[in-house]
């Protein structure tokens, strides 16, 4: 085992007694290297837990700071960062929360964590212009070619279809409604999109969410609409398109000729 690996293992050891100090570690002033390493280890763990707390603020509010930090510490030790860039650290956190036995009584936590991660990803998504209303109107007016168009959505656009009231839980912790009025067992679908520097989380119909997911997979409008109608008999294309237009989600169109 390399010295670097021994240092890493000791840094994230669950029990400091198991790896109190990497072998061969010395201090420049002859102070106890084990004590100095313990301080360093604590600072690293705290920094990574703080990064998760910053990325998942609503999740922390729901379970409380003490529970969150204990859960986050276990995650950090199981899934340490693989990059120096911590902006997206915690992508595996929702799956960890879902499997975390002490949180089993709150089954909506994992999807809430997924929503918060989508928000982070939307915030850091690439910039892109969105089409002007007249350009979209011209495309919609071309009934002959409309079905074959592929709609390119803004890089920040994402959808989460959940069996839980993730949009309301998020909104309650933004002061948009009272938490006591939220029924977590109510299924909700969230649209995530960034307008400028502000990320919006919007509740939409599940059928519209499914339709948008199809567009994100680069299928044509006609194919997306057909799949949505087959899956959701109540699907309304006008409602789904209206949602995309209202939230300025459309960046471009691709036609069959452009696809080669």
d(CA 20, CA 18): 6
Whether 150 is covered by a domain: the verdict is yes
Same domain as 188, residue 86: no
CATH number, residue 151? 3.90.930
Of the candidate ranges 1-5, 21-25, 140-144, the one whose mean pLDDT is the lowest:
1-5
d(CA 235, CA 229): 5
pLDDT at 153: 97
- Summarize pLDDT for 4-63 with one digit per residue, the tens: 665 556 666 655 545 566 665 656 565 556 666 666 577 788 999 999 999 999 999 999
Q: Is the pLDDT of residue 181 over 90?
A: yes
CA distances for 242 relative to 74, 134, 211, 247, angstroms: 43, 14, 12, 9
Could you tell me the pLDDT band of residue 82, with boundaries at 50, 70 and 90? confident
pLDDT at 140: 85
pLDDT at 44: 81
The whole domain housing 207 covers 125-260
- Summarize pLDDT for 119-131 with one digit per residue, the tens: 999 999 999 999 9
Same domain as 174, residue 140: yes
The rounded mean pLDDT for the chain is: 88
Could you tell me the pLDDT band of residue 248, with boundaries at 50, 70 and 90? very high
Boundary of a domain, candidates 75, 106, 137: 106
Q: Is the pLDDT of residue 259 over 50?
A: no
Same domain as 233, residue 180: yes
CA distances for 84 relative to 5, 87, 89, 217, angstroms: 17, 9, 9, 30
Whether 180 is covered by a domain: the verdict is yes
Whether 216 is covered by a domain: the verdict is yes
Same domain as 135, residue 101: no
* Domain count across the chain: 2
Of the candidate ranges 9-23, 143-157, 186-200, the one whose mean pLDDT is the lowest:
9-23
Could you tell me the pLDDT band of residue 206, with boundaries at 50, 70 and 90? very high
Whether 112 is covered by a domain: the verdict is no
Boundary of a domain, candidates 78, 106, 134: 106
């Amino acid at each position: 085992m390399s010295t670097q690996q021994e240092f890493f293992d000791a840094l994230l050891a669950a029990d400091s007694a198991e790896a109190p100090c990497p072998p061969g570690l010395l201090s420049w002033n002859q102070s106890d290297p084990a004590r100095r390493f313990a301080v360093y280890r604590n600072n690293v763990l705290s920094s990574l837990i703080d990064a998760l707390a910053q990325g998942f603020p609503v999740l922390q509010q729901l379970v409380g700071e003490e529970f969150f930090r204990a859960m986050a510490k276990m995650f950090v030790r199981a899934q340490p960062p693989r990059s120096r860039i911590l902006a997206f650290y915690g992508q595996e956190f929702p799956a960890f929360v879902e499997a975390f036995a002490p949180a089993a009584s709150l089954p909506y936590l994992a999807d809430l964590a997924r929503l918060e991660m989508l928000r982070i990803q939307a915030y850091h998504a690439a910039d892109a212009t969105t089409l002007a209303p007249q350009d979209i109107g011209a495309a919609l007016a071309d009934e002959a070619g409309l079905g074959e168009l592929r709609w390119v959505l803004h890089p920040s656009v994402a959808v989460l279809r959940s069996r839980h009231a993730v949009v309301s839980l998020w909104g309650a912790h933004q002061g948009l409604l009272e938490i006591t009025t939220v029924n977590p067992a109510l299924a909700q679908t969230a649209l995530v999109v960034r307008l400028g520097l502000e990320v919006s989380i919007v509740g939409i119909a599940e059928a519209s969410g499914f339709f948008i997911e199809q567009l994100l997979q680069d299928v044509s409008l006609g194919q997306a609409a057909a799949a949505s109608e087959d899956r959701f008999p109540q699907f309304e294309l006008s409602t789904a398109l209206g949602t995309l237009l209202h939230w300025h989600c459309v960046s471009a169109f691709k036609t069959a000729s452009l696809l080669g």
